[in-house]
Amino acid sequence: MAVFPTAPITRFLLVPSPSGSGIESSEKSPNILPLSLRLAHYPPSSLCIIPSSQQLTELLHPRLPVRLVESVSRSAILSLPLPEVTSCQIKKKGQKKLLLPGRDYPIPHSRIRPVRDTRYYLQHAREYPLVECWLHASWEQIRLTPVVVVRQQALDRVIFAYCLVDLDCLGVKDAFANADVPLSTFRRNLPKMCSDEPQPCSVELAHEIIYGAIEFAQRYGFAPHPDFRRQMVDQVLDPPDAHPRTHNIQFGRDGKPFFVSGPYDSEVTINRVIQTLRRTAGEGNFQCLIRLSDVDLDFGE
């Protein structure tokens, strides 16, 4: 145990002792940590310091065991191993700064990076403004068109949703979405997404094509592609009733489903579509265009 006189000893510092048991003294030094900071880094059972009652709460950790003694030599001081001080290289100015262990330091603003989680941006996509929409230039003739809806995430980054829309039968055949995409990357890939013939369109037209095709397909038992919700494409789009509709877009042929098989449709897929149309629309109420040389169809009895 080490003891101090009753006078305030706020300027005395702990000095390391090679043996760990000796008693040494030291006056204030600008190169040594203050007593209150050093004591905070030792467990309560390792210290027994006796300053004046006036300075007790300012110097010592609240849990330290302390007793007050009235008379003792001023040079007496408990010696303890000095806590290590870590150094951190600050890149901004190229200087080394001493950091005390166990202290909370603010993070420089230059080191704070914005959130770069794609899922987060897709979940909150509707908080960002719609800036443009694209589709195939001949969408009314080919009846199978990509529709791309773009939101501005930042000055040089976008969130976009892609839907491959079949206006005559299946609705949304494919879909995906992405966020935190550099604007230059999106511009470079846009022609590929629109079969090299991208054409800008209004936000209202893009939503009417997508939701109108989905509603038409659902009447005959066809749901949107699973990725429409799994990849949160529906979160990038506005809700179905957010924009007025012109009702001038024709879905189906003469009001009936018209199925055209694609180059990647398997025999199982084609037969499943035909059987679904047979069940929902009824015989004679739908049309099909299929390459017979590629598949062995089963139309049933």
How is the beta sheet containing 144-154 ordered, strand by strand?
171-182, 157-166, 144-154, 130-136, 198-201
pLDDT at 14: 36
Q: What is the mean pLDDT of residues 279-283?
A: 94
Q: Record the tokens describing residue 1, joined without a space.
A: 């145990």
Q: What does pLDDT average to over the chain?
A: 74
Q: What is the mean pLDDT of residues 163-169?
A: 97
122 C-beta neighbours (distance < 10 Å), count: 19
Q: Record the tokens describing residue 253, joined without a space.
A: 């042929």
Q: How confident is the model at residue 37 (pLDDT cuts 50, 70, 90)?
A: very low
Tell me which residue has tokens 């059987």.
275
The helix (run of H) or strand (run of E) holding residue 121 is: helix 118-123
- pLDDT above 90 for 174: yes
Asked if residues 85 and 21 have their Cβ atoms less than 8 Å apart, the reply is: no
**Minimum mean pLDDT range among 39-53, 172-186, 195-209, 285-299:** 39-53
The helix (run of H) or strand (run of E) holding residue 192 is: helix 183-193
In tens, the pLDDT along 239-278 reads: 999 999 999 999 999 989 999 998 888 889 999 999 999 9
The helix (run of H) or strand (run of E) holding residue 234 is: helix 233-236
DSSP 8-state class, residue 185 = H
Q: What is the mean pLDDT of residues 184-198?
A: 96
pLDDT at 262: 86
Half-sphere exposure of residue 67: CA atoms within 13 angstroms, side-chain side: 6
In tens, the pLDDT along 87-145 reads: 444 444 555 555 555 555 566 655 555 656 899 999 999 999 999 999 999 999 999 99
The answer to whether the pTM exceeds 0.85 is: no
In tens, the pLDDT along 48-95 reads: 444 444 444 444 444 444 333 333 333 444 444 444 444 444 444 555
